[in-house]
């Protein structure tokens, strides 16, 4: 066995995440490791909670990163809020809604499904119908920004409907946070989780999370113990809680938290409304280029996410070959379709530090050139021009 140090190529990451990580974030990651109970580290944790409150637009006391990827953030919400026998309405319009259903079942809950076509937002009327038909449901779960399809659901309206039916809400904001408007307090979202590796321009591995007081009451009133020790928020809060005294729970991923802190400092410097606008601006430029290439976004315009663009693969084109050539020839990663959309779409991410002019122009130009090579008639010149025009201020 002869294995040396690993030196990855430099990529341009325009898939569904991880997105390009800003050099400042990588530099923060490599700062000297200190103890997870060091007073300096504890002070940094307090700042991190404040910065996450800024990103989530909330004053929630319980706002912190879970020491594991976004799917552990999801599971943390479900294992704490769902007890055996609880009816939970789950809206499914992609892979991550399906995963929510799995989580409900593994907690012993009873999922009530609102199934939507992939590539569409959740229909508020259908949620309302499900709640009328199931008056005992006390939780509604849905994905704000479906990473598998690029559809954005109207979180504000869905939360309103849930509250009218006395339900708490669990919202997946893994791809939403930092990339499109998300107003945890103004909309009354009860439990929300996200990921570090999408629109925050940070490395993968952490799941920012926020729960309001109604959600905490539900946890405190549980009849049964949370089935996970690692994800039990009663225990996690002893370490992340607001008190001066910290109780050891697990060893925090110290350097990963440095990186998230730096990413959030940068978000604060830019201003979150400016970050939202930046994602939208680059999305419009990408759209202009893709349309000039004759490619179609599968999500109707009003329901599109700026940060994740699902594009139909033209008939007869080997979608995997196109991705392989972009990677080999331009070190450019775009994503494949997932689940029901596997083989049918590419997913082009414009998340965080990936949402910038040079990435958009590279993607449109390289995609056009490779499609031409494969015999698809596409006007790359027009596409580049349209993209460029849309990028001008």
Contacting range for its own copies; rule: CB under 8 A; set: 120-128, 132-140, 199-207, 375-383: 199-207
Among 227, 241, 317, 385, binds its own copies (CB under 8 A): 227
Q: How far is the CB of 226 from its own copies (least distance, A)?
A: 8
Contacting range for its own copies; rule: CB under 8 A; set: 128-136, 152-160, 252-260, 357-365: 252-260
Among 169, 197, 210, 386, binds its own copies (CB under 8 A): 197
State the Cα–Cα distance between residues 388 and 47, nearest whole angstrom. Answer: 39
Cβ closest to its own copies, residue 8 vs residue 125: 8
Q: How far is the CB of 17 from its own copies (least distance, A)?
A: 6
For the segment 113-142, give every residue that binds its own copies (CB under 8 A): none
Q: What DSSP assignment string belongs to 261-329?
A: HHHHHHHHHH-HHHHHHHHHHHHHHHHHHHHHTT--BSS-GGGB-SSEEEEEPPTT--HHHHHHHHHHH
> What is the rounded radius of gyration, in angstroms, for the C-alpha atoms of the chain?
21
Residues in contact with its own copies, shown as a per-residue x/- string from 329 to 368 under the rule CB under 8 A: ----x----x------------------------------
For the segment 71-100, give every residue that binds its own copies (CB under 8 A): 71-72, 75, 79, 99
Element (H, E) at 193: strand 191-193
Among 83, 146, 262, 303, binds its own copies (CB under 8 A): 262
State the Cα–Cα distance between residues 214 and 158, nearest whole angstrom. Answer: 17
Half-sphere exposure for 217 (CA within 13 Å, toward CB): 5
For the segment 33-52, give every residue that binds its own copies (CB under 8 A): 33-36, 38-41, 44, 47, 50-51
30-33 long-range contacts, CB within 8 A, separation 24+: 30/255, 31/255, 31/258, 33/254, 33/255
Among 113, 284, 327, 382, binds its own copies (CB under 8 A): 327
Q: 309, 315 in Cβ contact below 8 A?
A: no
Q: 331, 12 in Cβ contact below 8 A?
A: yes
Cβ closest to its own copies, residue 335 vs residue 368: 335
Q: 207, 196 in Cβ contact below 8 A?
A: yes
Q: For residues 248, 254, 258 and 259, what is the CA-based torsion angle, rounded to 10 degrees?
A: -120
Contacting range for its own copies; rule: CB under 8 A; set: 242-250, 276-284, 306-314, 360-368: 242-250
Q: How far is the CB of 65 from its own copies (least distance, A)?
A: 11
- Does position 213 bind its own copies by CB under 8 A? no
Instruction: State the distance between the two ends of the chain, measured CA to CA, in whole angstroms.
Output: 55
Contacting range for its own copies; rule: CB under 8 A; set: 19-27, 128-136, 151-159, 178-186: 19-27
Picking from 71, 97, 101, the residue whose alpha carbon sits closest to that of residue 87 is 101
Q: How far is the CB of 383 from its own copies (least distance, A)?
A: 24
Cβ closest to its own copies, residue 109 vs residue 376: 109
Pairing of strands 145-146, 62-66: unpaired
DSSP 8-state class, residue 190: S
By CB under 8 A, the count of residues binding its own copies is: 80
Cβ closest to its own copies, residue 124 vs residue 230: 230
Tokens linked to 99: 């995963």
Return the SS3 of 229: coil
Q: How far is the CB of 53 from its own copies (least distance, A)?
A: 9
Among 261, 278, 279, 304, binds its own copies (CB under 8 A): 261
Q: How far is the CB of 31 from its own copies (least distance, A)?
A: 6
State the Cα–Cα distance between residues 245 and 80, nearest whole angstrom. Answer: 24
């Amino acid at each position: 066995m002869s294995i040396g140090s690993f030196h990855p190529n430099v990529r341009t990451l325009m898939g569904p995440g991880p997105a390009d990580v800003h050099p400042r974030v990588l530099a923060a990651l490599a700062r000297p490791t200190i103890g997870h109970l060091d007073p300096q580290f504890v002070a940094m944790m307090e700042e991190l909670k404040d910065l996450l409150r800024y990103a989530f637009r909330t004053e929630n006391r319980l706002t912190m990163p879970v020491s594991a990827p976004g799917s552990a953030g999801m599971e943390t919400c479900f294992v704490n809020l769902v007890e055996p026998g609880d009816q939970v309405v789950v809206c499914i319009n992609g892979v991550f809604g399906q995963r929510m259903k799995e989580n409900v079942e593994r907690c012993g809950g009873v999922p009530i499904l609102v199934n939507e076509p992939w590539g569409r937002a959740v229909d508020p009327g259908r949620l309302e119908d499900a709640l009328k038909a199931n008056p005992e449901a006390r939780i509604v779960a849905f994905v704000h920004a479906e990473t598998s399809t690029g559809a954005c659901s109207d979180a504000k309206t869905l939360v309103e409907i849930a509250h009218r039916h006395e339900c708490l809400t669990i919202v997946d904001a893994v791809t939403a946070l930092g990339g499109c408007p998300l107003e945890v307090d103004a909309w009354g979202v009860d439990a929300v989780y996200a990921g570090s590796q999408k629109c925050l321009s940070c490395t993968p591995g952490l799941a920012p999370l926020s729960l309001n007081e109604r959600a905490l009451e539900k946890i405190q009133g549980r009849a049964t113990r949370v089935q996970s020790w690692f994800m039990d928020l009663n225990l996690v809060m002893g370490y992340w809680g607001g008190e001066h005294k910290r109780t050891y729970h697990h060893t925090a991923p110290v350097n990963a938290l440095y990186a998230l802190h730096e990413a959030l400092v940068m978000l604060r410097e830019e201003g979150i409304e400016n970050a939202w606008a930046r994602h939208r601006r680059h999305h419009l430029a990408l759209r202009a280029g893709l349309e000039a290439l004759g490619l179609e976004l599968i999500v109707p315009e009003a329901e599109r996410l700026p940060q994740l663009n699902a594009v139909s693969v033209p008939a007869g084109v080997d979608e995997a070959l196109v991705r392989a050539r972009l990677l080999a020839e331009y070190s450019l990663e775009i994503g494949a379709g997932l689940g029901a959309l596997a083989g049918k779409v590419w997913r082009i991410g414009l998340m965080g530090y990936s949402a910038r002019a040079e990435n958009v122009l590279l993607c449109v130009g390289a995609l056009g050139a490779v499609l031409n090579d494969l015999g698809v008639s596409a006007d790359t010149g027009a596409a580049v021009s349209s993209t460029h025009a849309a990028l001008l201020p």
